[in-house]
Chains A and B, each alone.
Chain A
Amino acid sequence: MCRGAPVIDLRQHNAAFCEEHFLRFCRSQVTKTIEKHQMFGPTDRILVAVSGGKDSLALWDMLDELGYTTEGLTIGLGIDNYSDQSTEMTRRFAAERGLALQVVDLAATYGFSVPDAAGRTGRVPCSACGLSKRHVFDQVAREGGFDVVVTGHNLDDEAAVLFGNVMRWQDDYLGRQRPVLAEGDGFPRKAKPLVRLTERETAAWCLLRGIDYVLDECPMADGNNHLAYKELLNTLEERTPGAKQDFYLGFLRQGLRHFEQGSDTARTDLRACEECGAPTSADRCSFCRLRERASTTSVTVELGSTKHPTGATS
């Protein structure tokens, strides 16, 4: 029996953990997820999408600690001080550990920031941000020859997205809500190794491992549905510990297969975007159309011009 001082209670597991056993628990949950879903192997090159928040930094830390070959990618979104602080935190994390990091500044590379995109197109900021990030992750992974892109989506994220997809019965989204998406049609493989950990657990990981992360919430995310769904699910969790885990993991075990067939056929009409070459079902991809409307000046897209080795930029 463990005699260490308890530091965290995880009611969904009906247990309190000392620091050592909690960290071991997190590692085992992530290892189990990677292996069960065959996300990647020990020789794969992994591109870690990093925001400077608790989830992506915890993920990068765990993968590095587990011995995987990783490189970070962070995107300057141009959201006032929040973006500057996020990039700085990420640079510091990478520099302290000697990890390679690419920084892509949206405004310098593509001629617009997330606030520009929201203001000039009327698009919801989180939607423009998500579209831009996915495009840059895909492009950097493709051009850099990475085997997989990993993101820090946690159990709360996935349960909230699942809740939203069920609320609107978006069967195409439900069919693609897997912890790993295979590469193909010009898209890199994508994986979410943290889907068995709650965001309370990833925050505790950072705290116990001495990782400084951005505590402030994105000022443009306030009031969105995703946060409202998380609140609702935490209300349910308060009454029924383990509800979020049962909902999401139960979907993977029993629900997902009922939606998968339709989602796979939806990607058969893809072709290369006329402008950037990214896979799209239209002549030009959603990102290039967003860029045209959001940017004020014409820019040349050369990712290499904003690619900094960690040591040179810190």
Chain B
Amino acid sequence: MKVTIRNPRRELEIEGPIRVRDLVSSLGFHRDAVLVIVDGRLVTDDTTITDDADVEIRRVISGGDV
């Protein structure tokens, strides 16, 4: 499956199927720091992603001096 990581952008090829929770931890992200979007839809941690899916991992941490 193609995995696009946003902010900053990079692309990876990862073998599926894989659960969202396992994908996020294998890439070293905190679960609270990302949203996972599969084929354009927001999904939960226990969703299994099939090998033909298009996946976006969107980082959500932001901020300078607030």
B65 contacts A216, C-beta separation under 8 Å: no
Q: Which 7 A-B pairs have the closest CB atoms?
A: A126-B65, A221-B64, A126-B64, A130-B65, A234-B30, A203-B60, A7-B42
| Interface membership of B6, Cβ < 8 A | yes
| Interface membership of B19, Cβ < 8 A | no
List A contacts of B45 (CB < 8 A). Answer: 9
| Interface membership of B10, Cβ < 8 A | no
Q: Given A54-B60, A238-B30, are A200 and B35 neighbors across the interface (CB < 8 Å)?
A: yes
Q: Is the interface of A mostly helix, strand, loop or mixed?
A: helix
Q: List B residues at the A interface (Cβ < 8 Å).
A: 6-8, 30-35, 37, 41-46, 58, 60-66
Q: List A residues at the B interface (Cβ < 8 Å).
A: 6-9, 11, 16, 19, 53-55, 124-127, 129-130, 151, 153, 156-157, 160-161, 198-200, 202-204, 207-208, 215-218, 220-221, 224, 226-227, 230-231, 234-235, 237-238
**Candidate in B31, B32, B41, B64 with the most chain A CB atoms within 10 angstroms:** B32
Interchain Cβ contacts within 8 Å, total number: 93
In chain A, what residue has the closest Cβ to B9?
A: A215
Q: Given A203-B60, A215-B58, are A237 and B65 neighbors across the interface (CB < 8 Å)?
A: no
CA distance A159 to B46 in the complex (A): 27
A161 contacts B37, C-beta separation under 8 Å: no
Which of A7, A16, A125, A230 touches B63 (beta carbons < 8 Å)?
A: A230
Q: Is the interface of B mostly helix, strand, loop or mixed?
A: loop
B35 contacts A203, C-beta separation under 8 Å: yes
A226 contacts B64, C-beta separation under 8 Å: yes
A227 contacts B61, C-beta separation under 8 Å: yes
A238 contacts B64, C-beta separation under 8 Å: no
21 of the cross-chain contacts (CB-CB < 8 Å) are A8-B35, A8-B44, A9-B45, A11-B31, A16-B44, A124-B65, A126-B64, A126-B65, A129-B65, A151-B66, A199-B61, A200-B34, A203-B35, A204-B35, A207-B37, A207-B58, A217-B62, A218-B62, A227-B63, A231-B30, A234-B30
A130 contacts B64, C-beta separation under 8 Å: yes
Distance (whole angstroms) from the CB of A146 to the closest CB of chain B: 20
B32 contacts A238, C-beta separation under 8 Å: yes
CA distance A82 to B51 in the complex (A): 35
A156 contacts B61, C-beta separation under 8 Å: yes
CA distance A218 to B45 in the complex (A): 28
In chain B, what residue has the closest Cβ to A153?
A: B66
List A contacts of B41 (CB < 8 A). Answer: 7
